[in-house]
């Protein structure tokens, strides 16, 4: 081994020991509630396990529901507990669902006030309660089974055409609500939905998308401020230099 190679390797070794930036103040390790659960890191944090400064604020606190096979859980102040199915850190999106498998029930009472989240696409759905005995008239529509029983069948529709139709039948209009759906154009393509798909939410603050895409680590600058920094971004230049002959 010649001298330049020895120096190169020594530099590489040192660069692995010395962090590329020195501004990052708190080290937070990733967490999960269970093996197949979403990875929990800034701006989220696992309450009781990661320090408060590992998350952005209380709105991003998550817990593990030990009574429900350690499902990753978020508590929305006005709407209660939801299972976190997925977190996309680069897109700043979180997909949530009802731990009790009746999401439409939760949608009827959904209130995102004082949460950091809004819908990616918000679409209006109107809920109707129709007599089950007249099911033949509603056959093309997709019922919400968890809200229906022997006497009444519940439907939710975004389509003005279907709203007109059901209003003219012996159905009772229950409520019109906004639903954070996965795709736009629901009004045109969906006549009715059982609304069991995850709710798609996004957060605008803190803005970590660009840092995430660069492979950086987003976090608060110190545990007492809400200033965001992006650290540990790989600088390919360093490595090109080290491996040049
Ligand atoms: C839930 O997590 C706790 C703590 O990590 C663990 O002791 C327990 O076995 C887990 N339970 C299930 C059902 O996975
Ligand atoms: C919601 O989750 C929190 C935190 O895990 C828990 O303390 C609370 O009991 C849950 N509430 C309900 C209604 O399940
Ligand atoms: C259905 O209607 C009948 C007659 O009104 C009533 O006795 C019964 O309790 C209803 N069933 C349900 C599940 O609501
Ligand atoms: C910030 O961290 C330091 C050292 O870890 C700790 O002494 C201090 O109480 C923390 N401040 C806040 C506001 O959490």
Cβ-proximal residues to 1 (8 Å cutoff; 6+ apart), any chain:
none
What's the rounded Cα separation, in Å, for the pair 117 and 113?
8
Q: How sure is the predictor about 10, in pLDDT bands with cuts at 50, 70 and 90?
A: low
DSSP code for 136:
G
Pocket of ligand 1 (CB under 6 A): 34, 66, 69-70
pLDDT digits (tens, 9 = 90+) for 132-172: 999 888 988 999 999 999 999 999 999 999 999 999 999 99
Q: Given the CA of residue 69, which atom of ligand 1 is nearest to it?
A: 13
Q: How far is the CA of 67 from the centre of ligand 2 (A)?
A: 10
Contact 198, 85 (CB under 8 A): yes
Helix and strand numbers, DSSP H then E, in the chain: 6, 12
Gap from CA of 53 to ligand 4 centroid (Å): 9
Closest ligand to Cα 72: 2
Probe residue for ligand 1, chosen from 66, 67, 73 as the CB with the greatest number of ligand atoms within 8 Å: 66
Mutate to test the pocket of ligand 3, among 131, 146, 150, 152 (most ligand atoms within 8 A of CB): 150
Please compute Rg for the chain using Cα positions.
Answer: 25
The rounded Å distance from CA 78 to ligand 2 centre is 13
Kindly report the protein residue whose alpha carbon is nearest to atom 9 of ligand 3.
Answer: 151
Ligand 1 atom closest to 66 (CA)? 1
Q: Which residue's CA is the closest to the ligand 3 atom numbered 14?
A: 151
- Domain ranges for the chain, please list them: 45-219
Give the C-alpha separation, 166 to 172, whole Å. 8
Distance 152 CA to ligand 3 centre (A): 9
For residue range 224-239, list pLDDT tens digits in order: 677 888 987 765 433 3
Least confident of 89-93, 193-197, 218-222: 218-222
Please give the pLDDT value at position 16: 45
**Which position has the token pair 């798909």?**
197
The answer to pTM > 0.85 is no
Greatest Cα-to-Cα distance within the chain, rounded to the nearest angstrom:
89
How far apart, in Å, are the Cα atoms of 9 and each of 19, 202, 233, 245?
Answer: 17, 44, 21, 12
């Amino acid at each position: 081994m010649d001298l330049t190679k020895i120096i190169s390797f020594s530099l590489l070794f040192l660069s692995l020991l010395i962090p590329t930036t020195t501004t990052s103040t708190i080290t937070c390790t990733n967490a999960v509630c269970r093996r197949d659960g979403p990875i929990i890191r800034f701006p989220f944090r696992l309450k009781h396990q990661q320090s408060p400064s590992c998350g952005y604020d209380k709105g991003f606190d998550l817990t593990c529901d030990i009574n429900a096979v350690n499902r990753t859980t978020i508590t929305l102040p006005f709407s209660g507990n939801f299972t976190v199915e997925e977190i996309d850190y680069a897109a700043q999106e979180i997909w949530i669902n009802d731990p009790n498998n009746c999401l439409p029930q939760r949608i009827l009472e959904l209130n995102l006030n004082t949460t950091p989240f809004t819908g990616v696409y918000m679409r209006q759905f109107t809920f109707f309660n129709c007599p089950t005995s007249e099911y033949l008239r509603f056959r093309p529509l997709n019922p919400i089974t968890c809200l229906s029983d022997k006497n009444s069948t519940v439907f939710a529709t975004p389509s003005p055409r279907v709203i007109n139709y059901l209003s003219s039948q012996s159905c009772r209009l229950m409520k019109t609500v906004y639903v954070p759906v996965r795709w736009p154009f629901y009004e045109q393509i969906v006549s009715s939905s059982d609304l069991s798909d995850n709710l798609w939410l996004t957060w605008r603050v803190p803005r970590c998308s660009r840092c995430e895409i660069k492979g950086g680590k987003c976090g608060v600058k110190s545990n007492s401020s809400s200033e965001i920094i992006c650290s540990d971004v790989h600088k390919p230049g360093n490595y090109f230099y080290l491996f040049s002959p």
